[in-house]
A and B are shown apart, each in its own frame.
Chain A
Amino acid sequence: MSDLNKTDNMTSQVMKEILSGGLLRTVIAIVLGFLVGAIFMIGSNKEFVESLAYIFARPGDAFSAAAAVVGDGYGALFKGSIYNFDADTFEKAIRPLTETLRLGAPLIAAGLGIGLTFRVGLFNIGGTGQLIFGMIFATYVATRVELPMVLHMVVALIAGIVGAALLGALVGFLKARTGAHEVILTIMMNYIALYFFTFLMRNPDLLQESRATGNPKADAAAETALFPKLLGDSYSLHWGLIFALIAVVVFWWLMERSTIGFRLRMVGFNPDAARAAGINVEKTYILAMALSAGFVGVAAANQSLGVAVGVTPSAHANIGFDAITVALLGGSSGPGILLAGLLFGAFKAGSPSMQVIGVSPEVLGIVQGAIVLFIAAPPLIRAIFRLPKPQTTNALGEMRRRIFVKGGAK
């Protein structure tokens, strides 16, 4: 069988998966997630709780209170993240959508990184640490190096990718060399990276801002290194989105079309078979962790170079952890992660307008958690909705199966 035939089979299989249940299950999980969020919104609403006292006398009050709070809450989310009907001009009305794209971009890039490790049968819980290492490199280039326009930005972006990839490669190396479990290594690295970053930002010779205030903070990126605005100065959307989209294409090509991706997937399907076929599994682990962290590095550059404000220790904005949920929801595929990243980006963009109408945007954290909880256990959703068992398994399912048989932890 020729290689071309194989890839054709693969693509048709992917289509089959999407149509046969993967997509349906994902949609169900998202709907259930929003339902869980709605329950919390209703339960914490004062008017609803008060109307419960006379629910048997006038049940309509309770229902209308519940409908009102859910409608207001998710309505504000829509207005804050997609289209604002109240705005007087079209330019203002679509601003929320550009915010969703801006905040979704780093989630997409980092989600690709985490998704890549899922495909290889690894767990990269260290998105935060890798993101911080990327930010250290990108921020250093952006604030301490002088280069001409464009070149400066490109060098800073590459620095971010390299910085993150170095930490990823270190984890991969330690795993390959000693058999230590990458979950523990990456979690520990998260803390080490965070404290190291803080230390650098306290030191005037390294990253501390020139007008030090005592709090750990770096200078804003030089104007030559900043990502340019994408739609003019009236929107905050910048080139970070373009880089995230490029990352999606690179990810798709890498995983579905390249030899490296074939090797990565093969190790993910069955490391013993891959080893028997002559693939150096240990080297593949190092490569996978480095590539994974490299994608996270794109998100790191986005955090360092996206806004003209100096970074602080909290500038990682929890993207490293959110990326895990993005990768899970997106089923570790390029297009899936793109959509999942945009969904969770919309959550971030819509939070302030929910705050304004008095619904705590933290409810979106519940929605996010509930969605991935339903995603994480396909048998649960199948049991609830009595869906048939899928004929083919997706990459995540395959990975899950591998770990059942082999044992994930060493």
Chain B
Amino acid sequence: MSNTVATEVKVGFKSPIVMGSIGLLTIVFMGFLGREGMVGFEISRRQDVIQVPALDIDSSTLGIISGVLMLAISGFSLYRSMQNQKTPIWVSSIYGLIGVTALLGWLAAEGTVPIAFIAGTALVLAVPIILGAMAGIMSERVGITNIAIEGQLLTGAFMAAVVSSITKSYLLGTLSAMFAAALLSMVLAVFSIKFLAQQIIVGVVLNVLVIGITNFLYQQWLTEDAENVNFPGTLDIIRIPVLSDIPLLGPIFFENRITVFLAILIVPTIWFVLFKTRLGLRARAVGEHPLAADTVGIGVGRTRFWWVTIGGSIAGLGGAALTIGNAGAFGREMSGGFGFIALAVVILGRWHPISAALAALLFGFSIILRVWANQVSPGIPTDFITMVPYLVTIIAVVGFVGQSRPPKALAVPYVKG
């Protein structure tokens, strides 16, 4: 807005409209036109210490109940909009959880839903996306577009697998993954800050280069000598005593590999640094208004360089989570678009670490849901389920669900004048 008079920001009616329509669709298609049969929601696994009985409910009844609850929340959102207030994020999250429950119940009619398994796998799958998104947030918050997250993840995955195999040390493998991905980010940073190259192009090109290098080394070296250089295995699963015995939450959050715990720790740390410390304030100033930041004595180039580089090392950790944290070996182009998903997650999370992590969980969930839905109800067009997060991202960027606004100086090189 160009006029200097402070104008009241209008909260639109987009959220209640979108939420209400999805609620109605749920009632109709998963409720009244839903599928017959009981669904059992398994809360405890067989090996758990504390056993909670499974919840059984009729699939179409669940659809109706969920739809009604979703409509109620939409009503609340409508009320908030009429008061010109935004719908709080925790309300939207509850709404999302109810919708997901309805979807699970619909898919698993006459079957069971292993909640701990689905949620746990979604988290594990989301870890590389979360860490990649943190790299994206760290570099975009200081004004450097990072399309190279895919390359950073792939670099990390490759180095973690190879170095862990050769040195038999997961610690060295993880560190070298972070180091190599940081080096790659330095190239992005130097090209963007020093050579003033077009950041989007440099990002795309770095991806091409990393895919080329890892494909070549994989073909020429890793497949020839797989036992010695591409056989790292996976990190041990750590059970945190007591906490891991909590029903449902325990198996999901407290019985995992170190990569998952690190991701859970890194997200709030970045949030804290970015929004609660002087360091973060300076970084955001560089991303929003580099000239002003420079005027008060903040080194724009230096800040950008280090944030991009450290962000890259976090993406490298995400890459390590792909190999030694999940698959147990490196595979050709195994990051398979996670870097681009991370890019979407950054925008969906509105450049906020915690929201981005939640958005990453949505993607992780959609991936496992596709696999699982194929098993419980073959014949359901799972391609559409996989498509949903990408559609949601488009809906978010075109501004139907709240405007997502990037840092102001994003992709604008700063030349000291």
Contacts and interface: CB of A to CB of B under 8 A. Distances in A.
A375 to B, nearest CB: 8
A409 B351 CA distance: 14
Contacts of A325: 205, 208
Interface residue tally on B, bucketed by range: 35 or more
B199 to A, nearest CB: 8
B278 to A, nearest CB: 26
Contacts of B218: 362
B343 A192 contact: no
Interface string B190-205: 0100011111111011
Contacts of B344: 184, 187-188
Contact of B399 (A180, A183, A199): A180
A385 interface: no
Contact of B212 (A174, A185, A362): A362
B384 A409 contact: no
Interface string A327-367: 01000000000000000000000000000000110111111
Contacts of B393: 184, 188
Nearest to A408: B411
B383 A409 contact: no
Task: Summarize B's interface: helix, strand, loop or mixed.
Answer: helix
Contact of A365 (B201, B212, B343, B347): B212
A107 to B, nearest CB: 14
Among A179, A188, A324, residue most surrounded by chain B Cβ atoms (within 10 Å): A188
A365 B215 contact: yes
A362 B216 contact: yes
Interface stretch (A84-92, A263-271, A399-407): A399-407
Contact of A188 (B201, B204, B210, B394): B394
10 smallest beta-carbon distances between A and B, as pairs: A365-B212, A369-B209, A362-B216, A199-B383, A360-B219, A366-B212, A362-B215, A369-B208, A180-B397, A377-B197
Among A181, A369, A370, A403, residue most surrounded by chain B Cβ atoms (within 10 Å): A369
A177 B337 CA distance: 28
Contacts of B200: 123, 125, 183, 408
A178 B197 contact: no
B409 interface: yes
B337 A191 contact: yes
A66 to B, nearest CB: 15
A365 B340 contact: no
Nearest to A190: B340
A355 B130 CA distance: 37
Interface of B: 145, 147, 191, 195-202, 204-206, 208-213, 215-221, 337, 340, 343-344, 347, 381, 383-384, 386-387, 390-391, 393-394, 397-399, 406, 408-413, 415
A183 to B, nearest CB: 6
Contact of B406 (A190, A364, A410): A410
Contacts of B343: 184, 187
Interface residues of A, number: 54
Given A403-B411, A404-B413, A191 B406 contact: no
B394 A185 contact: yes
A376 interface: yes
A135 to B, nearest CB: 16
Given A184-B344, A184-B397, A368 B221 contact: no
B410 A407 contact: yes
Among A328, A360, A370, residue most surrounded by chain B Cβ atoms (within 10 Å): A360
A97 interface: no
A262 interface: no
Contacts of B383: 195-196, 198-199, 202
Contacts of B219: 360, 362
12 contacts: A44-B216, A180-B398, A180-B399, A188-B391, A328-B201, A360-B216, A362-B220, A369-B213, A372-B205, A373-B206, A403-B198, A404-B196
B216 A174 contact: no
A409 B411 contact: yes
Contacts of A204: none
Contacts of A372: 205, 208
B208 A368 contact: yes
Contacts of B387: 191-192, 195-196
A364 B200 CA distance: 23
A373 B191 CA distance: 10
